[in-house]
Chain A
Amino acid sequence: MDLSFTDTQKMLVTEARQFLKSTWGTSMVRKLAEDTKDYSNDLWIAMAELGWMGIVFPQEYGGTGGNLIDLCALVEEMGRHLVPGPFCSSIGLVGLTLLKEADNETRSLMIPKLASGQITATLAVTEETGGLAPEDIETICVRKNDHYILNGIKLFVPDAQNVDYILIAARTGSKPTNISLFLAPTGSDGIDIRAHKTMSFDAQGELRLVNTQLPLSSLIGEFNNGWPLVDRALQLGTMLKCAEMLGGAEIILDKTIEHLQERVQFGRPIGTFQALQHHCANMAIDVEGCRYLTYQAAWSLSQGFNSRKEVSMAKAWVNEAYNRICTLSHQCHGAIGFTMEHDLQLYTRRARVQEQSFGETQFHVEILTKNIGSLRRGSL
């Protein structure tokens, strides 16, 4: 048993924190929001120069051969500092899927570019229902001679407006899991992408596919048997979302403690009051739960184990815990925390959006009911 980061991972975390502290602040996050941009090219290039995009890819593809725990640690830091951009989408959702499932040609074409940050990508699964089951996918793909034709509308696609490629999950047969994956450049004819307008300036978009023609080589994995690939990518994405939220939860607790040490009322720091101390103790317990459930999921995935239970436990807990933390932090901050000027709202608003992405709490609780003993499908 070893419940800590390796020395290399600790170094990675320290370097990432120092770098983000010196180059990326909440003022830049706000500026992006004002400019209605959601992505900083300068930051992306700087991150690429540090080798972050290559962290989980093998050296033969220009990466540094790290594992999912390295990636998890890095994303945790990015979550702390509200780093924008399609990092998790490019690396976790698409890069690792291609590494495992694409043919040699696609791999050697795509992965070095993803690993160096030259190109970006995302995965499009959800549609009108907003669900994550194969049944929710209605986008249709048919094969016509030497190409595929896709039609449908994808919604809530993470980073859709900021990427060069989209891995599209489309229906290719009548059985619920008859899903196939296609990799398409976002500039292709018949692809139209619009950004969603959200309360938290996070990047997600709508993808319209109108008679989109893709070459046969765009198929990733087996035809009609792509759901396991989507499923795996979603598990990775869920774990990374947890890591991002964990980073947010940690910094919110840190900032709350700072505030309670400095703010004086009744002639003393309000941190001396038990009511607020106990809020912080509860927040600390919640952070601890977020941390080890997330690391456990990352570790389990990195070992190649069936990690469905670990991933769902993590997301179901982090969803609720992170939002409890934000709410208590507002209570500790008083009126100032409710202003646009204060950074707290940047996290609070994102926390509610993050809660919904990659499965809301009940989605994961339901997965758990099917994975703890043999509980039957519950009746109403």
Chain B
Amino acid sequence: MDFRFSLEDERFRTELLLFLKSDTPQPMPFPGNMTDEQEWKLTTVIRRKLAEKGWLTMNWPKSYGGQDASSIRSLIFNEEMSYHLIPGRDVFGSRMLGPTLMIYGSEEQKEEFLPPISEGRVQWCQGYSEPESGSDLASLRTQAEDMGDHYLVNGGKVWTSMAHKADWMMLLARTNPTAPKHRGISFFLLDMRTHGIEIKPIINMAGRHEFNQIFFDNVRIPKDKLVGEEGQGWYVAVTLLDFERSGIDYAAQAKRLLDDLTGYVIKAQEAGNHRLSKWWINDLLAKLYIDTEVAKLISYRTAWLQSQHIVPTKEASMSKVFGSETFQKVAAAGLKILGLYAPLTSDDDHSALSGYVQECWRYSFMNTIAAGTSEIQRNIIANRGLKLPRN
């Protein structure tokens, strides 16, 4: 047993931190201090720089433009990027679509779609959820009808993050309405410039535009944009669910927020702030410190299993549940600690930590819903991990 990272991995961490210092704005403004457009601009600039370093798809095999990095190396990369609030990564392209195409894609698809991802030239979005299909994703109804030389798509998607900036969408649509629900779905690559796509913004509770609702009205998809076989789409989509899911992003975000809060409290205590010198504040911070440590260790363990080529089933879900719930806990505790300062936003003269805590708290509701709700994750832990019988 050894809880240390290897010397090479530590060297990589140092290199990454030096890069972040020299090539990204320091300190990185909290997202709430930027407009959506400013943040997007920063995303594209940093994405190109990460691509130049080869880090954007470091986890990919060298033959596909990656670095064959171990999952431990990826873990470090994601841990630091999340902790330092650096935009630029593209989870849909590099973590989801790329590895999916490597398994199921045709040679032409790999040639066309993999290089732009590793070069940071493309934004992907994920066309999975629908208004009537959330946790029960396999019930999705968007239809793709075989028209001989192309598919014709009608229906719609929702909660589609970054669709308004995306060049391409990975789309799950029903190609066989009479087959059992998991077997009638196909996986497509959809050019977002195609005629018949309407995108409507949905502003989230944090006041940001990330989500969209998408409407498809007779949208044509060429036949060569089907991934895998027709009807196999569900299995194409879920194959990759257990990969690249260390959950470290949640743990690192929670740790960052807690560190900022602790630093804030220490400064206030040193300045003689009576209210922030109460024992319960120290107590709360210390207990959350343990929670963030557990979140980190479960993520590390998940990544470590991956590095040993063991597929983590319950571990990845545990990491997601615990990390996202810990972030929520830290954010809510942060509001209690800040007291009357808690609601002040970054543009208020008296705001504490630039309004970051209330911003995190507003965001934190998403983390336990998106990418499989905490309840779905617990089902996975119980059924797949602990072998409890399915209903």
Question: Which residues from chain A sit less than 8 Å from chain B, CB to CB?
Answer: 1-6, 9, 69, 253, 257, 260-261, 268-269, 271-274, 276-278, 280-282, 284-285, 288-289, 292-293, 295-296, 298-300, 313, 316-317, 362, 365-366, 368-369, 372-376, 378-380
Contact = CB atoms under 8 A, between A and B. Distances in A.
A362 B375 CA distance: 31
Interface residues on B, range: 35 or more
Contact of A288 (B289, B308, B318): B318
A374 B5 CA distance: 26
B379 A274 contact: yes
B289 A378 contact: no
B208 interface: no
A375 B293 contact: no
B320 to A, nearest CB: 11
Given A284-B385, A299-B3, A316 B290 contact: yes
B278 A260 contact: no
Nearest to B381: A281
Contacts of A1: 2-6, 9, 72, 300, 304, 307
B378 A376 contact: no
Contacts of B369: none
> Which of B280, B290, B389 has the most chain A CB atoms inside 10 A of its CB?
B290
A268 to B, nearest CB: 8
Leading 5 A-B pairs by shortest Cβ distance: A378-B279, A277-B382, A281-B378, A292-B297, A281-B381
Given A369-B282, A372-B289, A378-B282, A296 B318 contact: no
Contacts of A365: 283, 286-287, 290
Given A3-B300, A4-B1, A375 B282 contact: yes
Contacts of A366: 283, 286
Contact of A293 (B72, B266, B293, B317): B293
B386 interface: yes
A296 to B, nearest CB: 5
Interface in B253-296: 262-263, 265-266, 269-270, 274, 277-283, 285-287, 289-290, 293-294
A288 B301 contact: yes
B83 interface: no
A372 B286 contact: yes
A289 B298 contact: yes
A285 B389 contact: no
A273 B383 CA distance: 11
B4 A284 contact: no
Contacts of A362: 283
Contacts of A281: 317-318, 321, 377-379, 381-382, 385-386
Contact of B388 (A261, A316, A379): A261
Contacts of A372: 262, 285-286, 289
Given A1-B304, A375-B262, A380 B279 contact: yes
Nearest to B385: A284
A378 B386 contact: no
B388 A260 contact: yes
Contacts of B389: 261, 268-269, 271-272
A296 B262 contact: no
B314 A373 contact: no
Contacts of B262: 372-373, 375
Given A277-B379, A280-B388, A373-B262, A313 B301 contact: no
A313 B280 CA distance: 17
B297 A296 contact: yes
8 contacts: A1-B5, A1-B72, A278-B382, A280-B388, A293-B297, A296-B3, A365-B287, A375-B265
A50 to B, nearest CB: 22
A52 to B, nearest CB: 19
Contact of A316 (B265, B287, B379, B390): B287
Contacts of A295: 1, 3
Given A273-B391, A281-B386, A375-B269, 15 more contacts: A1-B72, A261-B388, A261-B389, A278-B382, A281-B379, A289-B297, A292-B298, A292-B300, A293-B297, A295-B1, A299-B2, A316-B287, A362-B283, A375-B282, A376-B282
A313 B283 CA distance: 13
Nearest to B300: A3
B80 to A, nearest CB: 16
Given A292-B297, A365-B286, A285 B280 contact: no
B357 to A, nearest CB: 17
Which among A285, A298, A299, A313 has the greatest number of chain B C-beta atoms within 10 A? A285
Nearest to B301: A3
A116 B132 CA distance: 68
A380 B278 contact: yes
Contacts of B297: 289, 292-293, 296
Contacts of A376: 266, 269-270, 277, 282
A378 B378 contact: no
Contacts of A269: 389
A4 B381 CA distance: 21
Contact of A285 (B300, B308, B321, B383): B321
B318 A368 contact: no
Interface in B312-327: 314-315, 317-318, 321-322
A284 B314 contact: yes
B295 to A, nearest CB: 9
A292 to B, nearest CB: 4
A293 B289 CA distance: 12
A69 B377 CA distance: 32
A269 B382 CA distance: 14
Given A261-B388, A375-B266, A368 B286 contact: yes
B309 interface: no
A292 B72 CA distance: 17
Nearest to B380: A281
A86 B290 CA distance: 30
A277 B298 CA distance: 20
B277 A280 contact: no
Interface string B352-391: 0000000000000000000000010111011101111111
A369 B321 contact: no
A317 B281 CA distance: 18
Nearest to A361: B287
A379 B283 CA distance: 11
Given A281-B381, A373-B262, A272 B390 contact: yes
Given A292-B297, A375-B282, A2 B388 contact: no
Nearest to A315: B290
A373 B318 CA distance: 29
Contacts of B287: 316, 365
Which residue, of A281, A292, A317, has the highest number of chain B Cβ atoms within 10 A?
A: A281
Nearest to A276: B388
Contacts of A257: 386-388
Contacts of A274: 375, 379, 391
A284 B312 CA distance: 14
A380 B281 CA distance: 10
A120 B248 CA distance: 45
